[in-house]
Amino acid sequence: MAENIQNLLARMTLQEKLLLLAGESTWRTAQIPRLGVPKLKVSDGPSGARGEIFGESVPATFFPSGVSLGATWDVELMYEVGQAIAEQTKTKSASVILAPTMCIHRHPLGGRNFESFSEDPFLTGKLASAHVKGVQSKGIGATPKHFVANDQETDRFKYNAVIAERALREIYLLPFQMVVRDADPWCMMSSYNMVNGKHCDSSRELLEGIVRNEWGWQGVVMSDWGGTNTTVEAINAGLDLEFPGPPLRRSKQLLESALAESRIDLDQVEKSAGRVLRLLQRTGRFEHAPDEPEYCQNDDQTRELVLRAATGGIVMLKNDVGALPLRPSERISRIAVLGPNAKRVVAGGGGSSYINAPYWTNVYDSLKEAFKGTETEFVFATGAKVHRHLPTAPLHVLTDPVSAIPGAAVEWHLGHDLSGQPVTTTHIDDLYYICFGTTPPEIGVETGYSFRVRTILRPLSSGLHQLSLASIGPSTMSIDGKVVSSQSGSIHERAELFFQYGSTEDKFSLNLVQGQDYEVQIDYHSHDRQLHPEYEALMLPMEDKFQGIRFGYEEQDAEDLPSTAAAVAAECDAAVVVVGRDKEWETEGQDIPTFELPGQQVRLIQEVSNVCKRVIVVIQAGTPVEMTKWIDGVQGVLYTWYQGQELGNAAAAILTGSQDATGRLPVTFPKRLPDCPAYPSFSGEQKTIQYSEGIFVGYRWWDMTETAPLFPIGYGMSYTKFALTPMDISTTTLRRDTRLTLTVRVDNLGGFTGPGRQTIIAWLAPKGITRLQRPKKQVCAFEKSDSLVLGESIEVKLEMDAYPFGVFDLEKGLWVVDANTEFDILVGTTAVDATPCWTVEVPKEISWIHKISA
């Protein structure tokens, strides 16, 4: 393999090698037909293989979010999910998937936390490694991201994370080091931000010094999209591939200038080109290089896996007086399913990981289906407004005037002014429409174009309705020929919509009549900000590639929604209140603005709990929310995270007890934000974030400060009762080549007729004073038991080696386990019930830089 690549490199010109170091288009690498070097397509992302189109894409399986997968604590499941996502990637003619996301949950308001697994680096590294192995077992390249310390979205392109080296090594780099050591990913993606004053894509210390020289990894490092910040420095630092293309920093003109001044390290060019060629070889592109139309594969086996993964991630936080399960066999006359998320599809957070699924489920429909054939009556009330912006205009009030189906027509024009006849017309369902490098073929890559969105609006009621317009470039909205709103498209008026590229939302009111047709027209002109030199310093990465409009619409509603829902619940035997956030509250491009459930949801829960004796709250969110104002008044709480296309069926399975609740928290749930380790520094000041908590991230902080969280990491209730009994440890002496095996018996003591599984967590805790500061304890192993029925027992084995015991010694530049140290090994299910079981001694120093050698 290496010999073939060297022969190919020897035949390439310098210009051809440089051509390989940047994308040819948004999702494809460059090709060199002269030498038979094919292009390669990549695809987002962590929740499934979306394909190359935002929004109106070919459907793809929508898997649970990363934090929900983290809540399974299930390495084998992660491998299966990786395999399934690889097969989905093939349906999009792609050879690399841009996943997994494996940044640390440093603060509960991190906007993209939902994509990542955990606050704990060890758990993150283990799950990510299994995911990568699963993906690559199917011949698809995985791309762990974002390297490194991409732990917030505020100022994500420019912030500087100031991190002490021990914290950088032991918390933020460690998961990537584990995935390199255990899974050898074929790719890795650099992050947008700076670390200690240097952008990650241009950091020779990170890429060349640590990743290449220390870790010995030779996969492809690609930039995040628009995240290549320099021409010369990034190449010399070892960033192999700039995305998207056509390149901004590696354009022919910039490269020729740098070469003429001898500023580019040609050895690095050779190495990077070789790594890209090796990726093409690993993915089989030289033998078979398809780039066929994308298609949807929606098979029973994948649907079953998604449901199993989604169900396995749901965490039961409270279940008083047998509030759960709601058994169809019970004589429940009436169940209220309430809340803004009860009938909505809240499948994932917003941004590049969102998928257009082949089908959707919601809690109301799935729970009602579970009671099919019974006499139980189901009632519904919205209960609360929760939207951050006006909701996008729903399909059931819109008609495409061209195709006469729900949605809107988009008429495309060459040139800015919408003159002449449209060159083509397309259809959209979603009136939050983003065009990202995906104009129709008739438009091509023209920089100056315009489009007109046309739809027929038919209100369901009469009254003073709310409408809004937002866009990236200049736009005008007309209704029945009269202009009602416009946006300047100024770069100075950016807000949180459209990945922060778009305008503020212009809201206005109109009196509309029920059943009457209104012709809505939105004229949009591409902004072409890249053509204005005065904008260069103000433009965000990829700003030239994003275009789009958003049409918001809400009919008049003066009803007191929480009170109405409470009145409904008062007549019911049980109330399931489905609350949380959605993809406009938790999204790529911005952090979460509030810890509390947004909108009227807290009052909804409080009012319902005042009138109903059996209230179960179902929370759909990617991070913890504030609960202290209402949790004591309800009987049950399920945390369902974001579950993709099976969110409704998974929630119904746990609510009805057809499946046991086996999810366990992968993050600590605080009582209040000031208790959190990153509270003083998140989200920074003047684009600088001091990681002042050091190595004390997550549960380590709560241990050190002796602060009680609302729920500790590892917490989760089951319908059955388990007992753990530590049985044996293979050795109590830790040496360089030791592999410790812990044996723990798990007993199912009953309370639930169906099978259940328990998560066992092992922790290491240093005894006495240590030379280098350590957490009181940290996760060193975990295992998910097999399913156990009532009265059954099983012995579970937890395997560990010396790696989790190490700390990074700054003076030695090595990972070290000091001689003559002792560690207690604790076993339990959470950070607060871990019990010391054995003591392990270390007679001789163990040290390593990447791998422990004999």
The residue type at 594: T
Please report, as a single letter, which amino acid is at residue 512: L
Residue range 784-799: mean pLDDT, rounded: 95
Measure the CA–CA gap between 764 and 492, rounded to whole angstroms: 52
Task: Say which residues have a Cβ less than 8 Å from residue 797's Cβ, sequence separation at least 6.
Answer: 741, 742, 743, 744, 783
| pLDDT for residue 782 is more than 80 | yes
Token pair listed for 55 = 């929004």
* Nearest alpha-carbon partner for 287 in 515, 36, 13: 36
355 band by pLDDT with thresholds 50, 70 and 90:
very high
Type of residue numbered 590 = Q
Nearest alpha carbon to residue 721 among 314, 316, 310, 313: 316
Instruction: Give the domain CATH number at 478.
Output: 2.60.120.260
Classify residue 363: in a domain, yes or no: yes
Same domain, 406 and 536: yes
Over residues 417-447, the pLDDT tens digits come to 898 899 999 999 989 999 887 788 888 765 6
Question: What is the chain's length?
Answer: 854
C-alpha distances (whole Å) from 35 to each of 18, 22, 27 are: 15, 18, 22
Please indicate, yes or no, whether residues 778 and 844 belong to a single structural domain of this protein: yes
Residue 529 has a pLDDT of: 82
238: left (phi over 0), alpha (psi -120 to 50) or beta: left
Residues 535, 404, single domain; the answer is yes
Residue 646 carries which side chain, given as an amino acid letter? E
Domain endpoint, select from 657, 678, 705: 705
User: Rounded to an integer, what distance in angstroms lies between the CA atom of residue 144 and that of residue 549?
Assistant: 32
Residue 173 lies in a domain: no
CA 477 to chain CA centroid, Å, is 34
Distance CA 548, CA 475 (A): 9
Query: Which residue carries 């919509």 as its tokens?
Result: 497
Q: How far apart are CA 530 and CA 227, in angstroms?
A: 16
Tens-place pLDDT, residues 581-632: 999 999 999 999 999 999 999 999 999 999 999 999 999 999 999 999 999 9
Q: Are 549 and 486 in contact (CB under 8 A)?
A: no
What pLDDT was estimated at residue 747?
A: 96
* Cα(224)–Cα(242) distance, integer angstroms: 8
Residue 657's CATH number: 3.40.50.1700
167 found inside a domain: no
Q: Which whole number is the average pLDDT over 287-305?
A: 95
Q: Model confidence over 619-672: pLDDT tens digits?
A: 999 999 999 999 999 999 999 999 999 999 999 999 999 999 999 999 999 999
Structural domain containing residue 786: 721-848
Does residue 429 carry a catalytic annotation? no
> For the chain, what is the domain count?
3
The verdict on 650 and 580 lying in the same domain is: yes
Beta pairing class for 482-487 and 424-428: unpaired
262 burial via Cβ count (<10 Å: 0-12, 13-18, 19+): exposed
Dihedral sign computed on CA atoms, order 297, 298, 303, 306: positive
Question: Peptide bond preceding 146: is omega within 30 degrees of 0, i.e. cis?
Answer: yes
Per-residue pLDDT for 520 more than 70?
yes
End-to-end C-alpha distance for the chain, whole angstroms: 29
Inform me whether the pLDDT recorded for 526 exceeds 70.
yes
The reported pLDDT for the residue numbered 446 is 55
Structural contact between residues 119 and 68, judged by C-beta atoms closer than 8 angstroms: no
Omega within 30 of 0 (cis) for the link into 563: no
What would the pLDDT profile of 495-519 be if each residue is shown by its tens digit? 778 888 888 899 999 999 999 999 9
Does residue 551 surpass a pLDDT of 90? yes
Sheet holding 334-338, edge to edge: 315-319, 636-639, 615-620, 574-580, 334-338, 377-381
Query: Is there a single domain that holds both residue 663 and residue 796?
Result: no
Domain boundary among 489, 518, 544: 544
Average pLDDT over residues 290-319: 96
Instruction: Please tell me whether residues 682 and 783 are part of one structural domain.
Output: no
Q: Of 480, 509, 544, which residue sits at a domain end? A: 544
Contact 579, 620 (CB under 8 A): yes
Q: Which residues pair with 470 in a beta bridge?
A: 550
Q: CA triplet 757, 762, 765: central angle to 5 degrees?
A: 160
Is 554 or 500 the better-scoring residue by pLDDT?
A: 554
284 assigned to some structural domain: no
Please tell me the least confidently modeled range out of 20-24, 439-443, 754-758.
439-443
**Whether 849 contacts 812, CB under 8 Å:** no
In the block, tokens 């649907």 appear at: 303
> Looking at this protein, which amino acid is placed at residue 826?
L
What pairs with residue 795 in β-bridges? 745
Query: Could you tell me the pLDDT band of residue 56, with boundaries at 50, 70 and 90?
Result: confident
User: Per-residue pLDDT averaged across 743-764, rounded?
Assistant: 92
pLDDT of residue 498: 85
**In a shared domain, residues 591 and 660:** yes
**Selected residue with higher pLDDT from 490 and 798:** 798
pLDDT of residue 128: 98
Residue in the structure block whose two tokens are 């073929």? 441
pLDDT of residue 383: 97
Answer whether 580's CB lies under 8 Å from 597's CB.
yes
118 Cβ contact list (under 8 Å, min separation 6) = 67, 70, 104, 105, 124, 127, 666, 667, 698, 713
Question: CA–CA separation, 147 vs 151, rounded Å?
Answer: 10
pLDDT at 753: 72
Comparison of pLDDT for 537 and 452, the residue scoring more: 452
Residue type present at position 535: Y
Query: Which pLDDT score, from 0 to 100, does residue 853 have?
Result: 85
Average per-residue pLDDT for the chain: 95
Beta bridge partners of residue 814, listed in sequence order:
809
pLDDT of residue 448: 79
The CATH number covering residue 838 comes to: 2.60.40.10
Q: What span, in angstroms and rounded, lies between the C-alpha atoms of 586 and 65?
A: 12
Which of 761, 682, 756 is closest to 724 using CA atoms? 761
pLDDT at residue number 500: 82
- Number of alpha carbons in the 13 Å side-chain half-sphere of residue 778: 23
Whether residue 789 is found in the same domain as residue 682: no
Q: Which of 587, 583, 469 is nearest to 520 (CA)?
A: 469
- CA–CA separation, 355 and 482 (whole Å): 36
DSSP string, 62-105: -PPPHHHHHTTT-HHHHHHHHHHHHHHHHTTT-SEEE--B----
User: Do 666 and 742 belong to one domain?
Assistant: no
Produce one character per residue of 527-536: b if its CB has 16 or more CB atoms within 10 Å, e if not.
Answer: bbbeeeeebe
b/e sequence 290-325, b meaning 16+ C-beta within 10 Å: eeeebebbeeeebbebbbbbbbbbbbbbbbeeebbb
172: tokens are 């933020």
Distance CA 302, CA 547 (A): 34
Of 653, 655, 625, 656, nearest to 641 by C-alpha is 625
509 and 409 in a common domain? yes
Helices (H), 479-535: none
Per residue in 238-271, pLDDT tens?
999 999 999 999 999 999 999 999 999 999 999 9
Looking at the structure, tell me whether residues 758 and 674 fall in a common domain. no
Closest CA to 6 of 203, 247, 275: 275
pLDDT value of residue 854: 63
Greatest distance between any 2 Cα atoms in the chain: 84
Are both 785 and 843 inside the same structural domain? yes
Any domain includes 293: no
Identify the three-state secondary structure at position 477. strand
Residue 2 has pLDDT above 80, yes or no: no
pTM: 0.96
Query: pLDDT digits over 266-289, tens only?
Result: 999 999 999 999 999 999 999 999
**271-284: b (≥16 Cβ within 10 Å) or e:** bbbbbbbbbbbbbe
Cβ(398)–Cβ(456) below 8 Å: yes
- What long-range pairs does 831-835 form, CB within 8 A, spacing at least 24? 831/668, 831/699, 831/702, 831/703, 831/712, 831/713, 831/714, 831/763, 831/777, 832/712, 834/761, 834/763, 834/777, 835/726
Q: What is the model's pLDDT at position 3?
A: 67
Give the C-alpha separation, 773 to 265, whole Å: 40
pLDDT (0 to 100) of residue 192:
97
Q: Considering the candidates 201, 224, 400, 660, report the single residue annotated as catalytic.
A: 224
In a domain, 78, yes or no: no
**In the chain, % of residues over pLDDT 70:** 99
Does the residue 827 lie in any domain?
A: yes
Q: Is residue 584 part of a domain?
A: yes
User: What average pLDDT does the segment 139-159 reach?
Assistant: 96
